[in-house]
Amino acid sequence: MQGIRPPILNGPMHPRPLVALLDGRDCTVEMPILKDVATVAFCDAQSTQEIHEKVLNEAVAALLYHTITLSRDDLEKFKSLRIIVRIGSGFDNVDIKAAAELGIAVCNVPAASVEETADTSVCLILNLYRRVTWMHQTLREGTRASSVEQIREVAAGAARIRGETLGIIGLGRVGQAVALRAKAFGFNIIFYDPYLPDGVERSLGLQRMATLQDLLIHSDCVSLHCSLNEHNHHLINDFTIKQMRQGAFLVNTSRGGLVDEKALSQALKEGRIRGAALDVHETEPFSFTSGPLKDTPNLICTPHTSWYSEQASVEAREEAAREVRRAITGRIPDSLKNCVNKEYLMASQWPTIEAATVHPELNGATYRFPPGLINVAAAGGLPGAGPGVESLVPGTLAHGIAPVSHPPHAPSPGQPTKAEADRDIPSDQ
């Protein structure tokens, strides 16, 4: 489509663009939105090595969740790609700077799972304070609590919430939603976010901390709601854990890489941290049978599901498809609603434009998802996939499309500085 205009040359356009879902199979939500402007294929892939040559050569747009990673080397395999849309808020599985230098816009869907992620975060916080999970396990194991003494033993560690101080790191969409919910339970709310303009704390009735250390020192429970990037990997580590109050709680529904799990495990075993709840992990899918959190006490783990509800999933997919449609029928990046590497695109095209600098301590928002690739189905599409959906699996190409010779990627004319990322996500994540 002539509407797609890459800021840097990245291969020729086809008369009918190919849109590929890289790490999923179900395109039934996306098809009604895209079927009149594009051909949609799904690639149930976990890496670019599993993606069919047809997609690598001809895909103009890529949709993905969080289980496939696109590094610079991966991005260079795509010869016609103009836009990547992350179905979710986080985008740490895509090298957005390299994408910009190759003329590829990267977008996300930051709003769909805000309520789900915030609700889950508060649920985990309450669970740590009221110890519901552990009491349930005790009963499942056959323990009976009838006398007051037995109840005290079973419920040991349960604490009153009102008057406790909840420290939120990253007051983006989810962080604000958590703060509003937690206030209703009687928490005093403090937060640390170096990117928020002055005055936001007053409009929300919250207390702002000047530094991360100040927040950790004053919090009874710390909840993470910032993105993952090269500046805040292992934001919670042995050093920062020692700055936390003795016996504090920790909750993470943002990105697993924000927490040094080895340091957290040691702190839980020593009692420096009273309890922790993690929906995201450094290695996913998570398992209690291996890794640094194996045999760690007072720990609740869920499988990166804080972002999910049926409604949120559909809304995220619909908005991702609409973003692709805007790219096909409009101009890149001008027509895009949630382009997260626009500053890089501008800097790659016009090196004199300065991108925003990154705060050294925090830079908030990210995400990841499932596997795959596909086989082009015969006319009529795949069962359950809806009309117009193609499946591309290595070695099963049904449509004989001649290979196209593409020019090499244009080099970046300048070295842009790191742009400030959007602050929030689930999670879905």
Query: Catalytic amino acids?
Result: 255, 284, 304
Cα R_g (the chain), whole angstroms = 23
Region at 224 (left for phi over 0; alpha for psi -120 to 50; beta for the rest): beta
Residue type, 142: G
* Structural element, H or E, at residue 172: none
Residue 171's contacts (CB-CB under 8 Å, 6 or more residues apart) are: 179, 191, 193, 196, 200, 206, 225, 423
| Residue 301 backbone phi and psi in degrees, to 5 | -130, 135
The label of the residue with tokens 């037995």 reads: 150
What's 188's DSSP letter? E
Q: Cβ-count burial of 203 within 10 angstroms (0-12 exposed, 13-18 middle, 19+ buried)?
A: exposed
Length of the chain: 429
Neighbours of 218 (CB within 10 A): 15
From CA 203, how far away is CA 187, in angstroms rounded? Answer: 17
Q: Residue 119: in which H helix or E strand, if any?
A: helix 114-130
Residue type for position 190: I
Tokens 């190409």 belong to which residue?
397
The residues, any chain, with a CB within 8 Å of residue 136's CB and separated by 6 or more, are none
Residue 176 is which amino acid? Q
DSSP sequence for 215-284: HHHH-SEEEE-----TTTTTSBSHHHHHHSPTTEEEEE-S-GGGB-HHHHHHHHHHTSEEEEEES--SSS
Please state, in angstroms and as integers, the Cα–Cα distance from residue 245 to each residue in 161, 215, 240, 248, 325, following that order: 16, 10, 10, 5, 49
